[in-house]
């Protein structure tokens, strides 16, 4: 067994309260592209606009049809299934090792794998609401809609419960994540470059024993880690089970 994998296994075995913090790299093995890598969602233009604009509050309000053209084609992966990483960490939670998962992902795959305590910093594509009356809708409603999704009750625009550029994170979700990270004795950060704030600042709330970074490439915060493991997160988790 690779030395870093062996050390990570030992860290997990000795831990009492692990918090997992995940980014897009955890879901790439499930067929969901990340944002900033070659071939990622942010590569190129869409109708002449950068992806950051397409996923902004301004685009939703001022170019609503364009927003949903992009959103439906680039952000929804209803057939994606949890991979080895989602399943491994959900099992750690079931065993009482994992306190919670803090995620920047919006795909709901941690919950699909069985995770119960998940702080979704950027919301979820699985939840949608009418901007006018607040009625709730699922992902299937958005996928089945033609053009701009409209509320069946009042005709208002049904928008995803996803934090867009220009919008604030949910305060209760953020506080829950901060509190759990502060309580953890081990923080495992997986599949994220730690380049997007304020989420990238969350590791600064950790004061526990071991801070582990698992990512394919070095991150902007490698210097704060007690252990770095470079590789595909799902493959690392399969190695941990071996």
Nearest to 147 by CA among 64, 75, 77: 64
What class does CATH assign to 3-120+131-241?
A: alpha beta
Q: For the chain, which residues make up each domain, given as ranges?
A: 3-120+131-241
Q: Is the pLDDT of residue 40 over 80?
A: no
Q: Is the pLDDT of residue 36 over 80?
A: no
Assess whether 122 carries a catalytic annotation.
yes
DSSP string, 83-102: -HHHHHHHHHHHTT-EEEEE
CA separation (Å) from 53 to 19, 163, 203? 32, 13, 28
Q: What is the pLDDT of residue 38?
A: 61
The pLDDT tens digits of the residues spanning 171-210 come to 999 999 999 999 999 999 999 988 888 888 999 999 999 9
Average pLDDT across the chain, whole number: 95
* pLDDT bucket at 35, cuts 50 / 70 / 90: confident
Q: What is the pLDDT of residue 1?
A: 47
3-state SS assignment for residue 150: strand
102 pairs with which residues across the strands? Answer: 21, 119
**Number of helices (H), then strands (E), in the chain:** 9, 9
Beta-strand pair 227-230/18-22: unpaired
pTM of the predicted model, to two decimals?
0.94
| Catalytic residue, candidates 57, 86, 110, 122 | 122
Q: Is the pLDDT of residue 42 over 80?
A: no
The pLDDT tens digits of the residues spanning 121-154 come to 999 999 999 999 999 999 999 999 999 999 999 9
């Amino acid at each position: 067994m690779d030395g870093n994998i062996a050390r990570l296994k030992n860290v997990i075995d000795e831990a009492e309260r692990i918090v997992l913090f995940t980014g897009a790299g955890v879901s790439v093995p499930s067929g969901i592209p990340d944002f900033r890598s070659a071939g990622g969602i942010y590569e190129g233009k869409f109708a002449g606009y950068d992806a950051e604009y397409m996923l902004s509050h301004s685009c939703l309000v001022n170019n609503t049809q364009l927003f949903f053209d992009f959103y439906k084609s680039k952000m929804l992966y209803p057939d994606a299934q949890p991979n080895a990483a989602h399943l491994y960490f959900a099992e750690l939670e079931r065993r009482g090792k994992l306190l919670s998962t803090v995620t920047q992902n919006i795909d709901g795959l941690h919950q699909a794998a069985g995770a119960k305590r998940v702080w979704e910093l950027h919301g979820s594509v699985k939840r949608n609401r009418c901007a006018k009356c607040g009625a709730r809708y699922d992902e299937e409603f958005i996928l089945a809609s033609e053009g701009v999704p409209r509320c069946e009750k009042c005709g208002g625009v049904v928008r995803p419960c996803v934090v867009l550029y220009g919008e604030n994170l949910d305060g209760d979700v953020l506080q829950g994540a901060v509190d759990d990270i502060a309580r953890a004795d081990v923080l495992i950060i997986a599949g994220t470059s730690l380049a997007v704030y304020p989420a990238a600042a969350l590791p600064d709330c950790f004061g526990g024993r071991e801070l582990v970074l698992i990512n394919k490439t070095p991150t902007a915060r490698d210097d704060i880690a007690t252990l770095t493991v470079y590789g595909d997160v799902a493959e690392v988790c399969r190695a941990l089970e071996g």
